[in-house]
Chain A
Amino acid sequence: MADKIEVSGFRHFFRTEIGSVQATGTIDLSIKAGEFVTLVGPSGCGKTTLLKAIAGFLTPSEGNILCDGIPVRGPGRERGVVFQELAILPWRTVRRNIGHGLEIARVPKAEREATVARLIGLMGLGGFEDRYPHELSGGMRQRVAVARTWAADPEVILMDEPFAAVDAMTRLTLQEELGRLCAATRKTVFFITHSVDEAVFLADRVLVMTRRPGTIKAELEIPRSASGGRDWDSFTSDPLMQKIAGDVMHLVHAERV
């Protein structure tokens, strides 16, 4: 399969009042179309910086980023983003937040409502369609953020710790839903997390970063069943998965800050 995202020789410095901060080391990375790649690494190692560069929010200090072979010049609807800090709009109801991307794309109302209704069902947000974000729990807001990005139907989805603020129970459900959704839609996903289990559970491939300035120090292919489906019961009882999770844990542990 062709490379959907290609990062080569990427390195980034932030300019600040008191000098420049090196946010990442040199990073090379490619993600194939339909692949689910997760990234783990210590806090401050440059994960968000890398994701923002792929999203087109910042221009790399060094290196190139290609999407479908074309240099990334700015944000675009083919690359959807779920932010670490939730970016849903407080002045739009759940329904209108989720439908925003379709509204922008001028999708006819009937089709838009059908898509929104399907995602509201999938994300367990039924009954809250006409609520504003401040009336939702943190976990529900996070689900709205995921649904909003999904509804716009981007080819690539970039997620920055999307489930960090969700309670442990809901998180398990959302992870399974996400796995199912991805298997069904064959989207290309780049997913940042602090949870080793989450990274191994969801991924086709796990990347581990070193501490700041972060580089990619290891990558592990995760064998998947043909259906691509995932569930926690079989994950926890599968010795191979548990061994991989243990390996990743060791790699991450060595980078403690």
Chain B
Amino acid sequence: MIHRWIWRLLPWVPAVIALLAWWAWFAIDRPPASVMPSAFAVIATMADLAFGGRLPGDILASMARLLGGSALGIVTGMAAGFVAGLNRPIADFMNPLVVFFNAISGIVWLPLVIGWLGIGSPLAIFLIWNTVFFIIFQNTVLGVQLVPEVLELGVQSLGGSRWETIRSVTLPGALPYILSGIRSGLGFGWRALIAAELVGATTGLGQLIFSGAEYHRADIIVGGCLLIGAIAMAMDRWLLLPIEKRTVIRWGLVATGQGR
């Protein structure tokens, strides 16, 4: 009973330690507010921004871009990944292209794409897609190729068509890799999003942080970062984890350390 509670509380330990360190730094060193704000100042500023301020609009704008760009990246990455994973010649054709474009960072695209799409959501969505696509693509290809052939042969011997085999064997078989791709894809998607919003948008958390930098408001910068991390954690916990619990964990494809 007691050690179960200890495990439950464990994830909060780093946050508590960070807060204590933050507080200690203030008690001992008293840094100027533009270097490091106090925790109290951050909370007060975020509360101000939240009630009647720009924060709700910024969060909504950022999340819409993130989800839009990621969804696009996931769908296109999976589709391309399946095509390449199931066809050797197509994989041989696509792999060099993927390596080529994957090496070119999103920031490099920024000046070019501002010229094409202008400033705003389409730009941010493109940059997120440009990040998420490659991660999903490569994970999907690996996942598809690692599905044991015997499972596919088994379904074909039951009379399954190629389509039935893909639907009932390849797709669920590749899912652990695809979900892992989605997890890292979302993380890198956030990075791309904030980078895009710093210069390529007028709203969003990236803009909020940028405006904080312009006015030397460290409290806004720190608050914005904390918010990004918190939203990312919430999405992982309430979006991705439930999907995993119902699929790859339920099927015993990934070990959870429970009931083993």
Q: Which residues of A contact B (CB under 8 A)?
A: 55, 57, 74-77, 79-81, 83, 85, 87-92, 100-101, 104-105, 132-135, 148-149, 152, 154
Question: Which B residue's beta carbon lies closest to that of A157?
Answer: B157
Q: Does B159 contact A (CB under 8 A)?
A: yes
With A90-B251, A132-B252 as contacts: A101 and B159 at CB distance below 8 Å: yes
Q: Does B169 contact A (CB under 8 A)?
A: yes
Interface majority SS on B: helix, strand, loop or mixed?
A: helix
- Whether A77 contacts B158 by the Cβ 8 Å rule is yes
Nearest-CB distance from A106 to chain B (Å)? Answer: 10
With A87-B151, A89-B169, A100-B168 as contacts: A76 and B250 at CB distance below 8 Å: no
How far apart sit A149 and B157, CA to CA, in the bound complex (Å)? 9
How far apart sit A107 and B164, CA to CA, in the bound complex (Å)? 15
Given contacts A55-B157, A152-B158, 19 further A-B contacts (CB under 8 A): A75-B157, A80-B157, A81-B154, A87-B148, A87-B154, A89-B168, A91-B173, A91-B175, A100-B155, A100-B158, A104-B158, A104-B159, A104-B160, A133-B252, A134-B252, A135-B252, A148-B158, A152-B159, A154-B157
How far apart sit A76 and B251, CA to CA, in the bound complex (Å)? 27
Q: Which residues of B contact A (CB under 8 A)?
A: 148, 150-151, 153-161, 164, 168-169, 172-173, 175, 247, 250-253
Instruction: Choose one: A75, A80, A90, A152; the contact of B252 (CB below 8 Å).
Output: A90
With A87-B151, A104-B164, A133-B252 as contacts: A77 and B169 at CB distance below 8 Å: no
How far apart sit A85 and B152, CA to CA, in the bound complex (Å)? 13
Complex contacts, A134 vs chain B, CB 8 Å: 251-252
- Whether B150 contacts A75 by the Cβ 8 Å rule is no
Interface majority SS on A: helix, strand, loop or mixed?
A: loop
With A89-B151, A132-B251 as contacts: A101 and B158 at CB distance below 8 Å: yes
Nearest-CB distance from B257 to chain A (Å)? Answer: 14
- Whether A80 contacts B251 by the Cβ 8 Å rule is no
Complex contacts, A75 vs chain B, CB 8 Å: 153, 156-157
Complex contacts, B247 vs chain A, CB 8 Å: 91
How far apart sit A104 and B165, CA to CA, in the bound complex (Å)? 10
**Taking each of B157, B247, B250, B253, which has the highest tally of chain A beta carbons within 10 Å of its own beta carbon?**
B157
Nearest-CB distance from B45 to chain A (Å)? Answer: 48
Question: Which B residue's beta carbon lies closest to that of A105?
Answer: B159
Nearest-CB distance from B121 to chain A (Å)? Answer: 37
Nearest-CB distance from B243 to chain A (Å)? Answer: 13
- Whether A80 contacts B158 by the Cβ 8 Å rule is yes
- Whether B169 contacts A81 by the Cβ 8 Å rule is no
Question: Which A residue's beta carbon lies closest to that of B155?
Answer: A100
Nearest-CB distance from B133 to chain A (Å)? Answer: 26
How far apart sit A75 and B153, CA to CA, in the bound complex (Å)? 8
Nearest-CB distance from B142 to chain A (Å)? Answer: 18
